[in-house]
Structure 1
Amino acid sequence: MNLPLIVIALILLIIVWFYLDLTLGRKKHRSLFSKRETPILHGDFDIFPHGKGLFADYFHELKMAASHIHILFYIVRDDEFSQQFFDILKAKAKEGVEVRLLVDRVGSYKVRKPAIKELRNAGVQFAFSNRLRPPFLFYSSQVRNHRKISIIDGKIGYLGGFNVGKEYIDQDPKLSPWRDYHLKITGESVPFLQREFFIDWNEYASDNVVVDSRYAPRQPKGTVPHQLVPTEAGRLEDKYFYLIQNAKKSITIGTPYFIPSKKLIHELLRAAKRNIKITIVVPYITDHMLVQEASYRYLRMMLKAGAQVFQYKNGFYHAKSIIIDDHLCDIGTANFDKRSLFLNKEINCYFFDPAFVDRFRDVLHADILDSKPLKLEDLNKPSFFRSVKEGIAGAISFFL
C-alpha cells in the first residue's frame, strides 16, 4: 500500500473514531444524567447587567462570609482582577471560613500551578471540573462545566453569565463595556443551588461531601416564583423546545451566539408562522472566531420569517435570556447555541412572576435601544471571505 492510501486510511479512521467517540460518549452521558429541577419556589433577586456593580457587591458578600464559600466558575483568568478574587478567598480561608473553588479545566486553563498552590496553602480547597475521561476521550474533551454559581453561608446565591477576569469589569479595550446578566439570589432556592454545587464538586474533587443543614439551611420564602433547572447532555434542547412551542404572543431571545439545533430552528420558524412576534438580540462584535458566521444562516431564516434581529453596539453582548409572552423569562448560564444545548453543563433560572418579567423586560429593552437592526440585505451582500468563513463555521458549528 502506497503512502497516500495509508494517509487517507488513517484520516478516515480518525474521523470514524471521532464520530463513534462523540456519539457513544453523549449517549452514555445522557443515560447518567438524572433530571434535576426545583419545584416552583419563591425568592428575591437583584439583577446585575454590569460587571463593576456585580463584583463590588459580590466581593463585599465574600468578605462578610462567616461559615462557608462555595464557588463554581467556567472561566477564571490569570490577571490582576483574578488575583483580587484569589486574595479574598485566601484571606477568608485563613480566617477559618470553608472555601471551595471549582473551575472548568478548559475554561480556566490560565489558572497555573503556582496560583493553585498558593490557594491550597492558604486553606482553599481547589479542584478542576471536566477533566478528560476514558473511554470517550474526544467527547469528554468537549464537555464544559459552563455553570457560574456561588453560595455564601447557604443564604446567598449568585448565578449568571459573568466570569472572573478583567474583560468582565470593562478593562478589555475591544470588548468594553461588557454586557451580561447575573442574579443575586436569596430565598428558598439557595439550598438547591448549594446541593447542585456539591453534585459537581463530588464528581471531580478528592473528598465526597454529604450536604446537610450545615451547608443548606432552610431559607425563608421570598416574593418571586421561580424554578432552577440544571441541564447537560442535550436536556436543554427539550426545555427550550417546550418554551417555544407554548408561546402565545411573543418570544425574545438574547444570546451572544445564535446557533440553534435543527429542532429548535424549525420550531422557531413554526412559531413565526403562528404570528408569534420573535425578537433576537445578538452582539455586533464577537469574542470568538467563526461564531458570528455560524449564526448567519439561522439569522437569515429568521429574518425571512419576519423576526426582528438586533445587534448590540454598546460594547460586547454576552447576556443569556429568553422572554416568553408576558409571564415567563429565563436568565442563566446557557447560550442559545449547540454547545450549550448538547455539550455544556448549564443552569438556568425560570421566572413566573409578571412583575419580575416586566422588570427584566425593561433591562432588555435598554439593550435593544443600544442596538442596530440587522437587515436581510446586510447578510446577503456578496462577500467571498464571509462565505468561506460561513462554510467552515457551518461544518464545525456543533463545537463553537
Structure 2
Amino acid sequence: MNEHSVNIFSHFLFSFWENYNNERSGGMSWLIVAIILLFLLLLDYKWGDKVSKTTSRKKSGVERQSDITLFTAGEELFEDYFAQLERAKHHIHILFYIVRDDKMGQRFFSLLEQKVNEGVEVRLLVDWVGSFGLPPSVRQKSGQFAFANRPTLPFFFYKLNERNHRKITVIDGKIGYLGGFNIGKEYIGQDPKFGHWRDYHLKIMGEGVHDLQRQFQEDWKKATGQSFGDDERYFPSLQKGTVKHRFLPTDGAYLEDEFIQLIEQAKREILIGTPYFIPSQKLMNALLKAMKRGVQLTIIAPMQADHPLVKEAAYPYFRQLLRAGARIYQFYNGFYHAKVIVIDDDICDIGTANFDHRSLFINYEMNCYIYDKPFIQYVKQTIAHDIDTSTLLTAEYFRKLPWLDRLKEGVATLMSPLL
C-alpha cells in the first residue's frame, strides 16, 4: 500500500469517525469497525507482501537429463505411485497441497503407516490451509509430519494467503513425482460434482530427482527447523536420462518474469492449459504482443469451476484475447486442472503453477521446463485430445451471458488478486 493510498484511507476513517461523534449514532459503529478492519487487513497484506518479496531469492535451476513419464488420469498415476511407495527401502518424502481424510486419504495414510512399521523414514509435509482439518489420529500414521506455511504474526493475513502449493514426492532419492494431483477422491474421479479429473503429473527417474529432493529438504527445514543428511542415502548417484529438463522453484516471486520470457520466445504458437486464467497485466501484454507478431495463442480452461468466481474472473481477459484472435476452449469432460504451457516445438512447462495471481505472486510453486522435442510432441498430442473434448468459446457466448454471470464477473474482477 503506497503513501497516497494510506492518506486516502486515513481521510475516510477520520470522516466516518467525526460523523459518528457528531450524530452520536450507534448505527454507524459497525461500519466504522468494518472499515478499520478492512484497512488493517490491507495494510497487513501489503506490508507482508513487501517483506516477503525483499527476502525472496531467484532460483534458476540447472539443466538435467532424466526419464520422464506423463500421467493425465489419477487412476493410472496413483496405481503407479502407490506401487512405488510400497517398494521404498530407505525413505519417502512427500509434499502435497491437499490431503483429504477420505477413502483415498485413508489408503494413502495406511500405506505410509505400513512403511513406517517396516523401518522406512517417512516425512510428510502438507500445506496448513490446503489440508486444514486433518485429524491428529490420521497425521500420526505418517511418521514425521509437519504443516507447511503456518500463518504467524506479524502479517497474519498475508501469511494466511501465502500457501505452499508444491506437490513433490521423492522415494529413496531415486524416483520423483511432480504435478497437479493431490490426495483425495476427486483426483481419481470419485467426486460426482467434478466427475473425471483431468490433470498433468510427471514421474521423474534420473539426475533431476536430486533437485526435487533439495526443494523438499528446504521446505521441510523451513517448516520444522530440522534437516536431513546430504549423504548418499538421500542423494544417491543417479544416471542421466533421455529427457533434458530444468526445475524452476518459485516462492511468490519471479514467476511472472519467467512466463513472460517463455512467451517472448514464441515464433508460431503458444498453448496454455490452466484451471484458472487470471494473468497479470504484464502477462496479458506479452500475450497480445505475441499475437500481433503472428503467434497463434490457444488456451484450454475448465467449463465448470471448483471455486467461486474463478471462472468469471477469466472473462475480461478472454474477451480481449478473442478480439485479438486467440482460440479459447472450455473442457467439458469433467474438471480440467492441468498446468501446462507449450512454446512452439521447443519448450514445455508442466508443474504446479496456475496462470493466475496466486501462483505468480503469492504461492510457493515448482515447475519443470522440458526441452525434449519427442516429449513435447507427445504433450501436444495430449493437449489436442483435450481440445477434442472441449467447446470453442466465441464472442457470442459473452454477448448472451445472463445478468447474474455479469454481476459475478464484476465482483470477480475486483477480487482477482486473491482468487
Equivalent of residue 222 in structure 1, options 206, 228, 241: 241
**How far apart, CA to CA, are the structure 2 residues paired with 1:186 and 1:334?**
22
Moved over 2 A (4+): 2-16, 206-214
Equivalent of residue 45 in structure 2, options 19, 22, 31: 22
5+ unaligned residues in a row in structure 2: which ranges? 1-20
1:134 Cα deviation from its structure 2 partner: 1.3
User: Could you list the per-position Cα deviations for residues 233-263 of structure 1 after superposition, in whole angstroms to 9, with x for gaps in the alignment?
Assistant: 2321111111112211111100011111111
Maintained 8 Å contact 1:195/1:216? no
Equivalent of residue 385 in structure 1, options 404, 411, 417: 404
Q: Which amino acid in the other structure matches residue 92 of structure 2?
A: I
**How far apart, CA to CA, are the structure 2 residues paired with 1:192 and 1:292?**
34
Equivalent of residue 126 in structure 2, options 87, 91, 103: 103
Residue 209 (str. 1) matches residue 228 (str. 2): yes
User: Partner residue of 1:192?
Assistant: 211
User: Partner residue of 2:371?
Assistant: 352
Larger gyration radius, structure 1 or structure 2: 2
1:38 Cα deviation from its structure 2 partner: 2.1
**How far apart, CA to CA, are the structure 1 residues paired with 2:121 and 2:276?**
36
SS at match of 1:396: helix
Q: Which amino acid in the other structure matches residue 307 of structure 1?
A: A
User: Partner residue of 2:16?
Assistant: none
Equivalent of residue 315 in structure 1, options 330, 334, 341: 334
**How far apart, CA to CA, are the structure 1 residues paired with 2:391 and 2:287?**
22
Between 1:179-188 and 1:108-117, the stretch displaced more is 108-117
Equivalent of residue 150 in structure 1, options 150, 160, 169: 169
1:207 Cα deviation from its structure 2 partner: 2.5
Aligned length: 396
- Identity over aligned residues, as a percent? 49
**How far apart, CA to CA, are the structure 2 residues paired with 1:176 and 1:265?**
31
Between 1:35-44 and 1:208-217, the stretch displaced more is 208-217
**How far apart, CA to CA, are the structure 2 residues paired with 1:37 and 1:58?**
28
SS at match of 1:365: helix
**How far apart, CA to CA, are the structure 1 residues paired with 2:141 and 2:144?**
11
Residue 333 (str. 1) matches residue 352 (str. 2): yes
Alignment of structure 1 residues 1-400 onto 2, 5 Å: 1=21, 2=24, 3-119=26-142, 124-400=143-419
1:298 Cα deviation from its structure 2 partner: 0.7
- How large is the Cα RMSD of the aligned pairs? 1.3
SS at match of 1:17: helix
1:210 Cα deviation from its structure 2 partner: 4.2
Structure 1 62/382 Cα, relative in aligned 2: closer, same or farther at 3 Å? closer
**How far apart, CA to CA, are the structure 1 residues paired with 2:282 and 2:344?**
21
Between 1:25-34 and 1:328-337, the stretch displaced more is 25-34
1:286 Cα deviation from its structure 2 partner: 1.3
1:345 Cα deviation from its structure 2 partner: 0.5
1:159 Cα deviation from its structure 2 partner: 0.2
**How far apart, CA to CA, are the structure 1 residues paired with 2:210 and 2:253?**
25
**How far apart, CA to CA, are the structure 1 residues paired with 2:50 and 2:371?**
32
TM-score, length-scaled by structure 1: 0.96
Structure 1 54/382 Cα, relative in aligned 2: closer, same or farther at 3 Å? closer
Between 1:30-39 and 1:329-338, the stretch displaced more is 30-39
**How far apart, CA to CA, are the structure 2 residues paired with 1:33 and 1:195?**
17
Maintained 8 Å contact 2:92/2:169? yes
Between 1:239-248 and 1:317-326, the stretch displaced more is 239-248
TM-score, length-scaled by structure 2: 0.92
Maintained 8 Å contact 1:191/1:218? no
1:219 Cα deviation from its structure 2 partner: 1.1
**How far apart, CA to CA, are the structure 2 residues paired with 1:105 and 1:385?**
34
